[in-house]
Amino acid sequence: MPLRKWLEQSTPLAGVPRAHRLGLTTESWQACAADAAAGGGQLLAMWADVSAEVTMFAAIATDADVLVLALELPSTTSTYPSLAELFPAAARMQRATADLSGPRARDFDHRPWLRHGAWPADYLPLARPQERPQAAEPVADHYNFVRVSGDGVHEIPVGPVHAGIIEPGHFRFSVVGEKVLKLEARLGYVHKGIERRFTELRAVEGQRLAARVSGDSAVAYSWAYCQALEGIAQTEVPARAAWLRALSLEGERIANHLGDLGALGNDAGFAFALAQFSRLKEQWLRALEAALGQRYLLDFVVPGGVADNVDAAGLANLAACGTNIAAQAAGLRRILDEHAGVRDRFAGAGTVSPELAARLGLCGLAGRASGRARDLRVDLPCRPYDELPVQKIVRNEGDVAARVAVRFDELQESLKLVERLCRELPAGPFRAAFADAAGAGMGIGLVEGWRGPVFIALTIAPDGAIRRCHPHDPSWQNWPVLEHAIIGNIVPDFPLINKSFNLSYSGVDL
């Protein structure tokens, strides 16, 4: 059936413009997803809500709409048709859902993803929030990594504890000599209980927790949360507040790109880049703090608008800092482009072809470096991006060099946007009044963070409490693609290739 026929059967959903909810049966669940995939749809997230009825959800972005598929199930022990053959990234989302909520996909991979033996196998943290598992000594469960056999093949286990101050993740390399034949990652070692914690909060408090799902994307998460909440409450955000949100989002994007460009140069053996981009990032963070009140904007976006206003002096200082960084970054780019050693390490490393990127659903910055021309600021713009001409940055080479080039171009584009946002910021209030119990129901939020699409599904009870909140990081889609990107490369190139994606551990360890 054409996708428009499915859309005709759907009902509007609060939050994101052109969002729809479509109730399906077990028979039509997979058929609808197949039609969406055939039309170029991108899987955004999968989750279950077992707070009342048991419902399995899948959110899919099409060219102009967001369609949330809803499948009611008899119980938490029910099974449902897997979407992994249509959207490969669904496999781990389905496994995480089984660990937390119970419903299990009918596919071949039933290995636990989040549990790690930390709670009893029959305990479902999101299905029985009033209960607590009995205290017991955690037992490390046996995890069957996919094995590669053959002459000269051996395994290199890396992690979950790493040499750097980073979150834990286990990487199992199958290699011949130094060439990688296969990589399999296992994450979820520090399960934080974020989705459970949401159910203990009032809806008007939830943006603070959302901002801390993955700290490098604080603005994207808190904005997506507030977008869902404001949609449910039918609250109109003032124009000045919307522009300040965009200013903070682009500020977050700039800080992350500056940090990554320095780290990528360092991983290629060019410490000069790390020193220079670290200097620029520090300048930018100080300017953000002076203008918006925080270096990392964990509490800037709030229901109804933003936490505080910004004065003309702060705007002028931020714009001037951005102009200075744009000029210096352009000069540093020429240095990196002309450095033979850096070029040799970047070019051809960790290549993801456009065909593979489309098949696996690679998204965000990494996707745009592999020909995936998707950017929510352009494709599904929320205010004020519908008034701002954002240039979509796309490359087709798909290697580390392409991902670095996209970062450089997006850095310059964001700095231009910051200059315009500071110069044309509308007058008026920076926040709308927002009641504690301003509405009930379900809404979704969707914002293009620096890494890619950040998604929030929020359900609020009539008394203003959060019944269910599912935050979703684009790293869910991109971690499996990293496993393909390293194939055929040598083991010492993994840190460089890994950093070129710079995926979130925290964002997939809820």
Q: Which amino acid is at 358?
A: A
* CATH class for the domain made up of 3-106: alpha beta
Q: Are strands 453-460 and 466-472 parallel, antiparallel or unpaired?
A: antiparallel
- Cβ(368)–Cβ(375) under 8 Å? yes
- Cβ(490)–Cβ(479) under 8 Å? no
Rounded distance between C-alpha atoms, residue 255 and residue 288, angstroms: 10
Q: What digits encode the pLDDT tens for the residues 52-77? A: 889 999 999 998 899 999 999 999 99
Residue 344, pLDDT score: 96
**CA trace torsion 464, 194, 10, 377 (10° rounding):** 100
How high is the mean pLDDT of the chain?
A: 94
Which pLDDT band holds residue 227 (cuts at 50, 70, 90)?
A: very high
Rounded distance between C-alpha atoms, residue 233 and residue 226, angstroms: 10
Q: What digits encode the pLDDT tens for the residues 360-387? A: 999 999 999 999 999 999 999 999 999 9
Q: Are strands 66-73 and 19-24 parallel, antiparallel or unpaired?
A: parallel
As a whole-number percent, the residues of the chain with pLDDT over 70 amount to 97
Which pLDDT band holds residue 135 (cuts at 50, 70, 90)?
A: low
Q: What digits encode the pLDDT tens for the residues 194-210? A: 999 999 999 999 999 99
CA 261 to chain centroid, in Å, comes to 19
Rounded distance between C-alpha atoms, residue 377 and residue 390, angstroms: 7
Q: Which residues on adjacent β-strands are paired with residue 490?
A: 179
CA 466 to chain centroid, in Å, comes to 21
Rounded distance between C-alpha atoms, residue 449 and residue 87, angstroms: 21
Residue 456, pLDDT score: 98
Rounded distance between C-alpha atoms, residue 311 and residue 333, angstroms: 33
Which CATH number is 239-432 given? 1.10.645.10
3-state secondary structure 283-339: HHHHHHHHHHCCCCCCCCEECCEECCCCCHHHHHHHHHHHHHHHHHHHHHHHHHHHC
Q: Which amino acid is at 101?
A: S
Q: What's the whole-number mean pLDDT along residues 80-106? A: 96
pTM here is 0.96
The SS3 call for residue 9 is coil
User: Which residue, 161, 156, 194, 499, is CA-closest to 349?
Assistant: 499
pLDDT at residue 133 greater than cutoff 70? no
As a whole-number percent, the residues of the chain with pLDDT over 90 amount to 85
Classify burial at 23, counting beta carbons within 10 Å of its beta carbon; exposed 0-12, middle 13-18, buried 19 or more.
Answer: middle
pLDDT at residue 137 greater than cutoff 80? no
Residue 136, pLDDT score: 59
Q: Work out whether the CA dihedral 508, 25, 14, 202 comes out positive or negative.
A: negative
Q: Which amino acid is at 200?
A: E
Residue 118, pLDDT score: 80
Q: What digits encode the pLDDT tens for the residues 157-169? A: 998 988 777 889 9
Rounded distance between C-alpha atoms, residue 207 and residue 225, angstroms: 6
The SS3 call for residue 123 is coil
Contacts of 378 (CB under 8 A, 6+ apart): 385, 390, 392
Number of alpha helices (DSSP H) and beta strands (DSSP E) in the chain: 16, 16
- Cβ(419)–Cβ(243) under 8 Å? no
Cis peptide bond N-terminal to 453, omega within 30: no
pLDDT at residue 290 greater than cutoff 80? yes
Rounded distance between C-alpha atoms, residue 242 and residue 384, angstroms: 6
Domain definitions of the chain by residue range? 3-106, 152-190+474-510, 201-235+434-472, 239-432
